[in-house]
C-alpha cells in the first residue's frame, strides 16, 4: 500500500505533453515552477501562453518591446513600430522616407 503513494517514487508529470520524470513529492513544485507545459502570462500582453511556446509567442506578440532597425531606439512595442517609422507622423530620426510634402505632390525622398 505504501508503494502506491511513496513520496520517493519516480513518476511522470501529469500534464499532457510534458512527460518529465520527477519524484512524487516534487510534483506540485514541478507543476508550478518548471513544467514546460505550465500556463504563464506573457509579461508584455498578459495573454495566457504555455511556457514551452513563450519564445515563439514573443516573436509575434504585439506588445513585445523591440528596437527600431533604422535608428536603434529600444523599447518600442511591436504594434507601434510602423507608427514610429512613419515618414509623416513617426519620430524615427533615421528612416529615409518620402518628403513630408508628398501629399501635395513632391516625389523626392
Residue in the structure block whose three cell numbers are 513529492: 25
3-state secondary structure of 41: strand
Domain assignment of residue 20, yes or no: yes
pTM, two decimals, is 0.72
In a domain, 43, yes or no: no
Cell numbers of 49, please? Answer: 501562453
What 3-state class would DSSP assign to 8? coil
Residue 79 lies in a domain: yes
55: which DSSP letter? H
Residue 55 in any domain: the answer is no
| Residue 9 domain-assigned (yes or no) | yes
Q: Pick from 72, 83, 42: which is nearest to 59 by CA?
A: 42
Q: Does residue 98 sit within a domain?
A: yes
The total of structural domains in the chain comes to: 2
Give the dihedral of Cα atoms 79, 81, 87, 89; nearest 10 deg. 60
- Can you give the pLDDT at residue 2? 87
The domain in which residue 18 lies consists of 2-34
Q: Is residue 39 part of a domain?
A: no
Mean pLDDT in order along the chain per 10 residues (109 residues): 89 96 97 97 98 98 96 96 88 72 68
| 47 domain-assigned | no
Task: Report pLDDT for 98.
Answer: 58
**pLDDT value of position 19:** 93
Amino acid at each position: 500500500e505504501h508503494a502506491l503513494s511513496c513520496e520517493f517514487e519516480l513518476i511522470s508529470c501529469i500534464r499532457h505533453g510534458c512527460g518529465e520524470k520527477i519524484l512524487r513529492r516534487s510534483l506540485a513544485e514541478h507543476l508550478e515552477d518548471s513544467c514546460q507545459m505550465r500556463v504563464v502570462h506573457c509579461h508584455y500582453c498578459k495573454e495566457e501562453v504555455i511556457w514551452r511556446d513563450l519564445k515563439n509567442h514573443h516573436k509575434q506578440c504585439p506588445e513585445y518591446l523591440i528596437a527600431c532597425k533604422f535608428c536603434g531606439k529600444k523599447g518600442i512595442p511591436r504594434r507601434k513600430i510602423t507608427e514610429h517609422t512613419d515618414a509623416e507622423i513617426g519620430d524615427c530620426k533615421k528612416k529615409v522616407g518620402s518628403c513630408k510634402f508628398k501629399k501635395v505632390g513632391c516625389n523626392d525622398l
